[in-house]
Each structure stands twice: as structure tokens, then as C-alpha cells.
Structure 1
């Protein structure tokens, strides 16, 4: 058992990254609005996530470089390389800054459901002390700069989330036959926006960069690929089960006034008792704090790779990036902006950005110059292309729907 636990890690950090307040919120809304009928979309999202994250992990182990370093190395033309670096940094850096506000706000929602108002008033100054607590915990774990400490802390938090969300789903006593029917694909136009959100919240673009950078912290030999694949498979399936549990819990409340997981927690209390509220709220808090750690970490890895900085987790340049992202998240989450709007915007934006990043990854994964005999198989390429085409189609349709409704 000890040997098995020692072989897991990077995949769990990826799960910690995508099971954030965004996932909890989008899955809650999917369950409340459409019941179990979008479980099929979440299943496909999990399969797509496994396939793309395996490619990312394989790239990191074989090349011992992150995705941003590899992509940059493929452009000899300085102008093209500079454009690529600018696109990647702006997309991931700015996106993660927006994400961080949602992560911390989501964690605050979870805690405030339990402890009450998160605000302290000093004269004319109002301080959201819960945002400061979450930001402080994230800062401490990142500043230590020890990969093992970070990995073990996030594994514990992911386990807490898993238990919280699964227990919540069981408490609601779901209809098993309706759950099974939810895995049968059906796509009506009113569900499209939510489907894109589910894809965007499960297959997160910055996780492709994060995973490639993390695996080389743990593994450095091609014969360790089976360990990385098992780690990826188990961790993402666990994440998928958590997401499905949230949809199932949301489906038990037929109340369109539910706009977030915190609302869901309050709605569960009169029906299933106060225990349900506390369990779900703790899960939301854990989701917020894990993503509040991984989003700045991913941004720092991307910027470090794009700009060619030397040094590891404790280098000053690396720390300056995640500190800036974390600071922005704490500040914006304290301004009273509705976290539901931040989170939903970030999820849909991710759904639109995904085909671009996935396309880059597919291109690199077919380069024998980079990967030698570890390039994609025909089946992997076929599935990868299908994932990109589906995400392009859904993304364009969601944009069109937004435009015609303006």
C-alpha cells in the first residue's frame, strides 16, 4: 500500500486543479436545471481529459521539459516564437488570474455557509477575512517550495473533497434508473451552453501545461511511463466521480433559484438535515483552496517555460509569478463581485481556448524528433482529433448562441 501511494501525485494535482469552485458551480447548475441528463457529457469530458493529460504527462517524462518549453523550441523564427509566447502567457496568465478570484471566492462561499458572514467591519473599512485565510494557506504551501509537501497536502484535500461530494450524493437518495438514463446522449439547444461549461471545467487548458511540468518533478525515465499513466487514470476518474456526485446532488433540488454550490448546500438542509449542508460546504471549501494553490502554480510554470527562466519552485522569479496571481485573486475576491459570474465566464472561455491548446499538443505529440518512439499511435491521434473537432463545434455554437441573444 505504501508503494502504491508513493507512485501517485501529479495526477492528483491535476484533479485538485480542475475540481475547483468552477466545477462545483457548473455541475450544480447542470443538476438543478437538467437533472441527470448531462451525465453523458461529463463522462465524455472525463475520457477526453484522460487522453489529453496522458499525452501531456508522456511529453513531460520523455523530454523532461514542460509543454511551453517544447512548443517554444519548435519555432526557429523569432517573430513567430515571440507571438506564440505572447499568446500562451496572455491566455494562461490572465486566465488564471481570473480563475484565482473565482477559486478564492468559491472557497469563501463554502466556509461562509458554515461560519456565517465573512466580513469584518472596522469603521468605514470592510474586510473579507475568509479570503485572507484562504490566500494565506495557499501562500504558505506554495512558499515552502517543497514538491512533496505540496503533493501530500493536495492529496489529503482531494480525498476530503471525494468523501464530501460522494456522501452528499448518497444522502439525496438518487433514482438509480434515472441516473443510468442520464448516460444516454441527448443534446437539446438549451443544454449546449452547460455542455460547453462541463467540458471547459473538466479539460482545463492550463492543466496540460501543469501536468507536463509536474511529472518531471517525480519521474525522469521512460520506463516510468506506466506509473504516470496509472496515476493519471485513477486521479481523473476520481475527479469525474466527484463531478457526477455534484450533478446528482443538484438534481435532487428542483429549484431554479439555486445559483451556486453554496445555495445548493442551503437548499439541502431542510430536506436532508444540517449534516448535508456542512458536508457539501466543506467540499466546496476544499475545492476552492486546492484550485487556489494550483492555478498560480500552473501560471508560474508556464511563464518560467516561455521565458526560459532557470531554477525551481523556490526561485525568486518563479515565486514572483504565483505571488502576483494569488494577490490578484485575494484582492478581486474581496471586492464583492459575484463569484458565479466570474466562474461561469472562466469555464466558457476555457471551453473556447481548449481546441487551440489541444491542437498544439497533438502537433507536438507526433514529432519523432522530440519523442522518438513515444509519439502518438494512430488511435490516440484519431481520438485527439475528434476531441479537438468536438470542442471547436461546441465552442462556435456557444459563441453563436451568445451573439444572437445580445
Structure 2
């Protein structure tokens, strides 16, 4: 499996930083890209609705959500730092293909809901500031794709600087809004005490949790931390975990202050004068000037909204890329991938606005956040399992206390979501003139998702010793070999990865050497443990790979071939050349998934870095 966000993976070095400040600064950045997801336009809709209807009383929900977010994002960062896998890749390596496809589908729904909120929010901001129609504003957001390509080509640090600038614009705008609004600080403090006025408040509270703790941010953070290159020793990993936690704490607390400011602004303006039903961003913008007595209030509001939409669409698109590559192992050209991800967001937004008009955007924004909240369990529960697993985390698994806290958070979210789903379906059944249709469609679907959730929760406890490693899946070994060969190649090296490509590679090798040659089968273990401990590693994946390699040797020896095996540890493009250059080989045979023409445009050319590092011919065969 390839690296997460390969074009920027380990592109920022934290090595050779002499002062502690420079060291910390080198690690700072990923959490700020995460933080924009916590202040995106979807949050604005739920915060405005909460503040206008219930005053300051839901501030505690924001605080609780922020604590949850900090815990979960730190787990996500830990997974990426220790295993060098993002959450989607870790899921693909652990669950069966069927479960992974379902999890991918749910993750894409979350991305679509999130992107819908971001696209609508930015389009509303453009509409409010420049009076451009909403549909045209949505189409303008296509340009985000090209901005993202430009920024990522300049390097991850340039992108981080751009995002941090937008966050500063949002923060500065709301500092002035607070000065204009002059909130009642005693009521602000009382709002931090937990209370739940009614069921409507619960719906908005779940929306706030969904808007704050976002599934796609868990995938994104586990990938972005891998942009830092650091010493992969135990001390180096500990240091990376510490600095990333500091980064997350600062960035997410800034996001909390922005969210709190939006809710406080709504409470200090709309709730205060009895305007309890202001949920639309457009209405909030319209009423700010007369209520606060300054024309700058709505202007700053719109500017902050555009900044929030712009920054969150960039990170949302990156998350879409990570999910697609991680779950499907689908590696396509960056610009194609990002256009697809952006269209997934824009097409629903255009359809919704065209059919229902501009007046429903506020309700859609809140609904999108509730949908996000419903997806959370399917991202959080695998994450907790992964970072609690000793074999996967190589000694960096979370403590029992952190596990209890994590499962408590997951339980709270799942129970809240369960109540929301039950109430919604119950309401539909009571209001429907023909409930039998719902009993045959919606109810079975809800039960199937409940069964999936229970499966994900309990399977690792039941079968902890039977972890299914997908990227090194046991090969069925039903290979059809050609045994003829007349070439002078008498010492042939063949790389194997226990995939369908092995059959083609081995057949090609036998055609070159026939029964008289000696064949060395090479496989490289790429786990973090292998990279740190080398041949002394002792983990589940290494034992599986070693067993499969021996099975290959036994099977081929029975067919009359002279076979040796060599297991390497670390990065293939470094380890394979070392093995080849130390041996006395005539040729190296590698299987690959080649492509030409249009596929070349989509997937990119197949270029193996190791061919420049070996002194013998390399024979690449296409599967």
C-alpha cells in the first residue's frame, strides 16, 4: 500500500532543529488544517440556531464537543505517527473487503454532507458580500480545486500558511463582532453548566457535536501528521506525539473560541430581542446591522464566512482523496481525484438549490451536520480499536485510562445518535399515510447499520488473534507455471507481494531461466516495526509474510525449481537494491499493474525508483 498523500509525505523535516522552539515550530501546522473543519459553515448554522433559540444555554455542548474532539484527534494523530497509516488505510488492512466497501460508502456520505455545508456556506458568503446569485457562487467554488493544486505543489508548509491566514481572518472578524455585540458575561459562564431545555435543543446539540467532531477530520489528521519527517526511533516517535498534541490543543481551542463566538453573537443579538427562529445564515447577516448599529458587523460576518468556506473546502477535498485512496487503494492523478471530490460536493448543492430554492439552505446546513454526527461511530470505533492494539502500535498503544475515556466518548455519541434516529423514524412512521413502505425500507436499513456498528465494536474483542491483513492477504497459491526456458539467466531474483501480480512475475522469471536456474524470492515487510527494529521485529504481519514466503518455496521446490527466499525489512525502494547489490544475480524480475494511453493519464506512469539503484537489468512485467 502506498503512502498517504504521497506527494507531500515526509516533505517537512523536523531533524537538525537546534532550539526547542524551532523543533516545536517544525511540527506545528497539521492541526490548524484540522481546526478549520471545526469552524466551517455547517458549524455556523448549528451555532446560530442554538444561540438564537436557546441563548447561551448550549455553550457547554460546544465545550464538551471540543474536549471530545481533542481526545479523538490526538488518537488519530497517534495512529498516523506510529503506524505511518491513515485511518482509511488501517481499516483496509484490518477488515474484509465487504466491510471496507460499506465503511467507504459511509465515509463518502460524510464527506458529501460536509462538502455540501462548505460549498453552500462559501456560496452564501459570496452572495452576501458581492450580491452574486447562490447557484453562481456554488460554481465559483470549483476554483478551490485549482487553488488546492497550486498550494500543494508549492509544498505543505505553504498550504498551512494559507490556511492559518484564513483562520486569523475568521478570528479577527469575530473579535470585532464580540466588541459590537457586548454579550452578558455572567450568562456566558452559566451557559457552560450542562442543561437541555427540550428535544429541539437535543437535535441542535447533536448537530453541534456532528459539526464539531467531524469524521473526515479523523481521516485527515492521521494523514497530515505523516508530512513530518522525524527520527523513527522510540524517542523520536515520543517527541512527535508530544509536539503534535501541543499543536492540536492550541488549534482546537482556537476553533472552540470561534464557535463559541458565533453562538454568543446569536444569543446576544437575536435571542436577546426575541428573534428565536433565526437559523439561516442569510437572516443572521441581514439583521446584524440594525441590531448592532454598525454596517461593519455584516461585512465582517460575510468575510469570515468566505474564509471559513474556502479553508474548509480545501481540507475537505484532501480528506476525500485520503478516503478514496485508503479504502479503495485507488491511486489516480491528483487533479482528476480532486475534480471528482469537488463534483461530489457541487452537484448535490446545485440540485438542492435548483429544486428547493435558496430559502432552505439553513435547514440543509443543520441537516448535513446531523448526518455527519450519524457517521461518527463508524470512524471513531475502528480508530479506538487500532490505537489500543499493542501489535499494531508497537508499544505506543493508548493507556487503559485513555481507552476508558475514548470508549465513554464513543458511547455518548452512539447513544445520542441512536436516540435521534429512533425519534426521527418514529416521527416519520406516525406522520406517514403509508407506513408499510418505511417498515420495508428505512427500518431494515437502520437495523442493518446497527448490526454493522455492533460488528465493528465487538469483532476485535472476539477475534483479536485473527487480524486480517488486507495488503498482504494470503495468496491462494493456485499459480500456473511455464517450466520451459532457454535463457542464460541462471541466478534470477523475483520480488513477490502475495498479490495477483506474482503469477505473471514468476511465469516470466521461469521463461527466462527454466528449471536450471536458481530463483531467489524477495519480499519486503513494510510495517513501522520493521522500519524501526529491522529483522528483530516480531509482529503479526511479519509472521504471515514469512509463512507465505516459505509456502511459495515449498510449492515451487515440489515442481522442481531451485528456490531460495529472502525477507527484507523497511522501505522496498531501499531494501531491494541492498539485497540485489549484495547478491550475485543476473536479473531482477518485478510484477506490476502497468497501463498505457488513457489509463496513463488517469493513474500516472509506472516509474520504479529502485531501477537507478541496481547494477543489473530490471525486467518489469505487467499484470
The TM-score with structure 2 as length reference comes to 0.60
Alignment of 1:149-228 (within 5 A): 149-190=158-199, 191-220=201-230, 221=232, 222=237, 223-228=239-244
Q: Following the alignment from structure 2 to structure 1, what is the Cα–Cα distance between the partners of residues 422 and 197?
A: 15
User: 1:159 and 1:385 mapped to 2: Cα distance?
Assistant: 34
Higher relative contact order by CA 8 Å / sep ≥ 6: 1 or 2? 1
CA contact (8 A) 1:104 1:135 kept: no
Q: Distance in 2 between matches of 1:56 and 1:319?
A: 26
Question: Once the 2 structures are TM-superposed, how far is the Cα of residue 257 of structure 1 from its aligned partner?
Answer: 4.0
Q: Among residues 245, 252, 261, which one is paired with 1:236 in the alignment? A: 252
Q: From the two aligned structures, give the one with the greater helix fraction.
A: 1
In structure 2, C-alpha distance between the alignment counterparts of 1:3 and 1:274, rounded to whole Å: 44
Q: Is 1:55 equivalent to 2:84 in the alignment?
A: no
Which secondary structure does the structure 2 equivalent of 1:388 belong to?
Answer: helix
CA RMSD of aligned residues (A): 1.9
**TM-score for the superposition, normalised by structure 1:** 0.90
How many pairs are equivalent? Answer: 388
1:330 aligns with 2:339: no
Q: 1:160 to 1:114 in 2, by over 3 A?
A: same
Q: 2:144 aligned with 1:137, yes or no? A: yes
Distance 1:231 1:394, change over 3 A: same
Q: Which residue among 50, 53, 58 is the counterpart of 1:30?
A: 50
Runs of 5+ consecutive residues of structure 2 not aligned to the other structure: 1-20, 429-623
Once the two structures are TM-superposed, the CA of residue 42 in structure 1 deviates from its matched residue by 0.8
Measured in 1, the distance between the counterparts of 2:412 and 2:149 equals 36
2:183 alignment partner, SS class: coil
* Structure number with bigger Rg: 2
Q: Quick check: 1:286 aligned with 2:296?
A: no
CA contact (8 A) 1:29 1:258 kept: yes
8 Å contact from structure 1 (residues 111, 281) kept in 2: yes
Whether the 8 Å contact between 1:45 and 1:202 is mirrored in structure 2 is: yes
Unmatched tracts of structure 1, length 5 or more: 76-80, 120-127
Match of 2:336 in 1: 320
The alpha-carbon deviation at position 16 of structure 1 amounts to 1.3
CA distance in 2, matches of 1:65, 1:151: 21
Residue range with higher mean Cα deviation, 380-389 or 331-340:
331-340
Equivalence for 1:124: none
- Describe the superposition over 1:333-390 as per-residue Cα deviations: whole angstroms up to 9, x where unpaired: 3342533233222211121221232111111111111112211112211110110111
* 2:52–2:277 CA contact under 8 A, matched in 1: no
**8 Å Cα contact 2:24/2:243 also seen in 1:** no
| 1:233 Cα deviation from its structure 2 partner | 0.8
How much has 1:297 moved relative to structure 2?
1.0
C-alpha separation in 2, matches of 1:195 and 1:43: 12
In structure 2, C-alpha distance between the alignment counterparts of 1:2 and 1:275, rounded to whole Å? 38
Kept after mapping to 2: 8 A contact 1:300/1:321: yes
- 1:38-89: CA deviation from partner (whole Å, max 9, x where unpaired): 01111010000000000100110111111111122224xxxxx212221222
